[in-house]
């Protein structure tokens, strides 16, 4: 481990312990101050957030956009304060801090016995939603992008497992896609971040009127297993995090359950399915733009030209 990795690990590791020990009001106040300071410095992450929000709010003034991005950074830092404190929350406290709209769609999907694919954006508090769903419906299965240093990655795995989720690595493991298919087929609840492609295998969709890249995984797993695909909106209102579960995304025509190879017809169907999912995610983000914590490029116009194709 190099010096930078060591510092990163100890910063996060210490944060997890110290922030949990602070009084709640002091902890969240501190994180809001940090968010305001980052916003005022307007580094590359905040600038990219504002580029993304400009697509969501094309008609607002630059001054108003800056205000939205400030509230966005406060929401983002609230998520991080939650993350540091969540391991000490009981099931009752997790339930108290979370609210769901239309969670009957989730219940209906699991009652169907084919599993469910939960498509979530980088918004609100997806970890809290995962913990809540694990308590009240079924253990949430998800994947985690590998981080450096490795010890920090293991801390994140332990954190999400500590709140009830089953976490698999995003990269570095063979057969991860097949493993997810098997888990969903066993009536599993798979939650995947779906508004940004973390690989080079995503599909192009129209998102807020522009070309963007989104992962093919949620649509592909849903098609192969027959599990409903449920897109969600995530946001904060008052003292609680919320999830808005949209009706099942309409499936493209064709018989796809059990297919074992990605031919051109399957890719076309998955792309169509992903586009329909994108419109649902778009609706949730448009309703609560300040809770969309997207500090990375999503739209092709912002991507490295070498990656865009």
Tell me the pLDDT tens digit for each residue of 52-106.
999 999 999 999 999 999 999 999 999 999 988 988 899 999 999 999 999 999 9
Indicate if the pLDDT at residue 200 is higher than 60.
Answer: yes
Tell me the helix, strand and coil percentages in the chain, rounded to 5: 55, 15, 30
Domain spans of the chain, in order of start:
3-301
pLDDT computed for residue 162 by the predictor: 78
The 10 Å Cβ neighbour count of residue 259 is 15
Q: Give the predicted TM-score (pTM) of the model.
A: 0.91
DSSP 113-133: TS-EEEEE-SBS-HHHHHHHH
Residue among 167, 134, 139 at smallest CA distance from 153: 167
Instruction: Look over the chain and give the mean of its residue pLDDT values, rounded to a whole number.
Output: 90
User: Cα–Cα distance between 245 and 104 in angstroms, integer?
Assistant: 8
């Amino acid at each position: 481990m190099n010096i930078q990795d060591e510092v990163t690990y100890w910063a996060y590791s210490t944060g997890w312990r110290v922030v949990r020990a602070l009084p709640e009001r002091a902890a969240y106040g501190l994180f809001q101050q940090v968010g305001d300071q980052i916003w005022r410095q307007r580094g590359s992450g905040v600038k990219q957030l504002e580029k993304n929000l400009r697509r969501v709010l094309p008609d607002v003034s630059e001054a108003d956009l800056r205000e939205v991005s400030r509230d966005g950074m406060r929401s983002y830092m609230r998520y991080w304060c939650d993350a540091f404190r969540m391991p000490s929350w009981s099931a009752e406290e997790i339930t108290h801090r979370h609210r769901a709209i239309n969670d009957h769609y989730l219940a209906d999907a699991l009652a169907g016995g084919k599993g469910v694919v939960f498509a979530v954006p980088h918004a609100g508090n997806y970890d809290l939603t995962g913990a809540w769903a694990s308590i009240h419906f079924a253990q949430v299965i998800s994947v985690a992008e590998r981080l450096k240093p490795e010890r920090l990655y293991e801390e994140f795995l332990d954190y999400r497992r500590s709140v009830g989720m089953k976490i698999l690595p995003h990269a570095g493991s063979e057969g991860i896609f097949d493993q997810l298919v098997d888990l969903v087929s066993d009536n599993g609840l798979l939650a995947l971040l779906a508004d940004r492609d973390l690989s080079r295998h995503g599909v192009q969709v129209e998102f807020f009127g522009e070309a963007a890249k989104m992962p093919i995984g949620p649509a592909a797993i849903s098609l192969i297993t027959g599990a409903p695909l449920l897109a969600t909106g995530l946001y904060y209102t008052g003292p609680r995090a919320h999830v808005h579960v949209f009706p099942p995304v309409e499936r493209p025509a064709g018989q796809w359950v059990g297919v074992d190879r990605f031919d051109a017809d399957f890719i076309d169907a998955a792309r169509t399915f992903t586009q329909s999912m994108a419109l649902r995610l778009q609706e949730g983000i448009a309703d609560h733009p300040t809770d969309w914590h997207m500090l990375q490029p999503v739209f092709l116009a912002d991507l490295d030209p070498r990656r865009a194709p």
